[in-house]
Structure 1
Amino acid sequence: MKFLFSIVATLFLVFQGGDLEALRNSYSKANLSNEGAKNFIAVADKTTSSDPVISGYRAAAQILEAKVTTEKNKRKTFVKSGASALESLIKNNESNTELRVIRMSVQENIPKIVGYSKNVKEDKIFILNNYSKQNAGLKTYIRKFAMQSKTMTAAEKNSLK
């Protein structure tokens, strides 16, 4: 019975990890083009996990819907619902660094007129202070994000080793 449980648990972690890696990969390309954004949205829509980080990527996908939708009156709704979901996730998981990376990247890239950019400095400080505590995979992901970040200075980028 223990053996069966360990197999099921391992399969769950592998598939969940696969979802997370697919989300990370597609999210890193989402801002490069509308096709990249649409691909990320499609990948996020296929995930069903209740993991807070995966839910964070789904919230970011909602926000990105505003970028690619052809229905202009729905843009505000997409941003509001995605931002609200992301803020709720961060409030309930305050120590989760990846959620802060997601929010910082969204806020860096969303047009300033939208008014969703108040946490960029706070998230940057949090990410820099908690970077060393992350696993190797997340450290690599954070370094890649930092290298293209508009907010992080050269010295801050170099501190992420």
Structure 2
Amino acid sequence: MKFILSLVAVFTFFFQSSDLESLRNSYAKANQSNANTQSFINIAEKQSSTDPVISGYKAAAQIMEAKVTTEKGKRKSFVKTGATSLESIIKNNPNNIELRVIRLSVQENIPKIVGYHSSLKDDKLFILNNYSKQNQALKAYIQRFAAQSKTFTPADKASLK
């Protein structure tokens, strides 16, 4: 019986991990084109996990849906719903660095007129202060994000080694 439970746990972890990698990879490419944005939204919508990081990506997908929707009246509601959800997830998981990366990237890329950019400095500082405590996969992901980020200075980027 313990063996069966162990197998179930391993398979669950493996598939959740691959779901997270799929979301990360798709999210990293989402801003390159509307097709990539739509692909990321589709991948995020298929996720049913209650993991806070996956929920964070789903919230980012809601925000990004404003970019690709053809219904102009819905853009504001997509951003508001996604931002509220992301803020709630971060409030409940304030020490999760990947959620901070998600919010930082959203706030960097959303038009300034929307007014959702108040956490840029805090998130950057949190990422820089907690980077060394992360696993190698997450460190690599953060390095790739920081390399293209407008918020990280060259000195900040150099410190993420």
TM-score interval (norm. to shorter): over 0.9
Structure 2 residue aligned with 1:2 = 2
Structure 2 residue aligned with 1:118 = 118
Alignment of 1:91 onto 2:71: no
Structure 1: distance between partners of 2:85 and 2:159: 31
Structure 1 residue aligned with 2:158 = 158
Structure 2: distance between partners of 1:132 and 1:4: 36
Task: Spell out the pairing of 1:58-97 with structure 2 (5 A cutoff).
Answer: 58-97=58-97
Structure 1 residue aligned with 2:23 = 23
TM-superposed deviation, 1:93: 0.2
TM-superposed deviation, 1:125: 0.1
Structure 1: distance between partners of 2:33 and 2:155: 29
Structure 2 residue aligned with 1:143 = 143
SS of residue matched to 1:48: coil
Q: When the two structures are aligned, how many residues end up with a matched partner?
A: 161
Alignment of 1:103 onto 2:96: no
Identity of aligned residues (%): 68
SS of residue matched to 1:94: coil
Structure 2 residue aligned with 1:50 = 50
When normalised by structure 2's length, the TM-score is 0.99
Residue type of the partner of 2:134? Answer: Q
* Post-superposition CA distance 1:78-106 (Å, at most 9, x none): 00000000000000000000000000000
Structure 1: distance between partners of 2:120 and 2:129: 14
SS of residue matched to 2:32: coil
Structure 2: distance between partners of 1:33 and 1:121: 27
SS of residue matched to 2:54: helix
Structure 2: distance between partners of 1:65 and 1:34: 10
- Structure 1 vs Structure 2 CA RMSD: 0.3
* Post-superposition CA distance 1:115-158 (Å, at most 9, x none): 00000000000000000000110000000000000010001001
SS of residue matched to 1:31: helix
Structure 1: distance between partners of 2:143 and 2:6: 33
Structure 1 portions without partners, runs of 5+: none
Residue type of the partner of 1:87? Answer: E
Structure 2 portions without partners, runs of 5+: none
